[in-house]
Amino acid sequence: MLDNKIIDSNDHQQLELYIHIPFCARKCNYCDFLSFPMKETEHGPYIDQLCAEIRESAALATNYEISTIFIGGGTPSLLDPKYISRIMYYIRRFYTVRPSAEITIECNPASTIAYKFAAYRDAGINRLSIGLQSADNDELRTLGRLHLFEDFLKCYQSARMEGFRNINIDLIDEIPGQTEKSWRETLRHVLMLKPEHVSIYNLIVEEGTPFRAMQEAGKLALPSEDTQAAIDALTREMTERYGYQRYEVSNYAKPGYECRHNYGYWSGIPYLGFGLGAASCFQGERWSNLRSFPQYLALDMASELRQGCPTLHAEHATQRVQDQMEEFMFLGLRRTAGISEVEFKTRFQVDIHSVFSEQLQRYTDEGLLIHEGYRYRFSERGMDVSNFILSDFLLD
């Protein structure tokens, strides 16, 4: 099965790391991530504190090997690459990183120039995730992006010339004003470049964003339901034609290039997050770091870790079995491989139908879930409405 090829979910020695860089040049109109513009003079102090957190947390990972690292944001490529090199140095010094580890950095076409790619390669980064979002410059302006499609092409070419052979391109569909024709052109431009991986996310109008304010004022012209359906159908048809396999709700890859880091999230591999607001899931515990930049910089990391992180971990909870069951379902079902009844029984010592019988039966009867052997997975139609279905697997 696909999930076994990507990652062995029974290998408890794997650990994933997420590194959060909260800086960006400007907030986009749709963005509700923890990110903000910040003077370059603040970059160094943040990296100092981030590296201290990485160093002081290493005792947690003594019996683990790092299988993936993801440097995200924000806009990590906004930083001077010497800071990225420093982060990677601290990780390799204090953690055991597998030689085969997948190491990704997110890049923005407006802030990534050729010399940075060389520095990333020297630091051991072997995968890039480039945030294009659209190949239509009018749509990019609508989103509030700082780059044009031409900037992306230069960025992509520079990455290839520097030797990167594992590149993801992020796209957003259902953008205000987007048409079936403009989406076809975006897909054609991107897929002809033959990236190894493409992530395609439906636009979600989040609270607190400029798009939400525009929507409330009646000034956000989102595509109609018919156009959305046509866009979804076009995505399926063109990705398949160009040789991409859909392995998760929003992700498509050439064979062998599935994102191991994200697949680990969906498959229950433990992870530690470092930096402002970063989330962790480790040994049955979940926590998120505080979100105040001044407070984060003021922490004594050594003291924090000795005392159990009373300030650093602003949110902390022990996972109940019920929580773990929910995550098994709504993360596992995102994968096209779906979930295994046998794995559920092995992990929780109960039959999956004793917990989720009603939901599984209903969506199977409606043709949104497919039951084959001992696995459940979304049908093609189910994938398109997966967000609505997955919320039904919450037990509270």
Cβ–Cβ under 8 Å, residues 79 and 48: no
Structural domains for the chain:
2-266 (3.20.20.70), 339-393 (no CATH)
Q: Name the 3-class secondary structure at 287.
A: strand
In angstroms, the CA 89 to CA 139 distance is 39
Q: What is the DSSP letter of 368?
A: S
Q: How high is the pLDDT of residue 88?
A: 98
In angstroms, the CA 209 to CA 215 distance is 10
Q: How high is the pLDDT of residue 395?
A: 87
For residues 154-193, b (16+ Cβ closer than 10 Å) or e, as one string?
A: ebbebbbebebebbbbbbbbbbbebebebbbebbebbbeb
Q: How confident is the model at residue 148 (pLDDT cuts 50, 70, 90)?
A: very high
Strands of 339-340's sheet, edge to edge?
339-340, 375-378, 369-372
Give the global pTM. 0.94
pLDDT of residue 276 exceeding 50: yes
371: Cα within 13 Å, side-chain hemisphere: 13
Average pLDDT over the chain reads 94
Of 46, 63, 91, nearest to 282 (Cα)?
63
Task: Calculate the CA 380 to chain-centre distance.
Answer: 22
Structure tokens at 203: 């636009």
List of residues 6+ apart from 304 with CB closer than 8 A:
56, 310, 311, 312
For range 34-47, the mean pLDDT: 93
Summarised one tens digit per residue, pLDDT across range 334-343 is: 999 999 999 9
Q: How high is the pLDDT of residue 387?
A: 85
Summarised one tens digit per residue, pLDDT across range 303-358 is: 999 999 999 999 899 999 999 999 999 999 999 999 999 999 999 999 999 999 99
Structure tokens at 14: 């794997």
Question: Token pair 């520095």 is at which residue?
Answer: 119
For range 223-248, the mean pLDDT: 96
Q: How high is the pLDDT of residue 2?
A: 41
Question: Token pair 């800071």 is at which residue?
Answer: 83
In angstroms, the CA 183 to CA 190 distance is 11
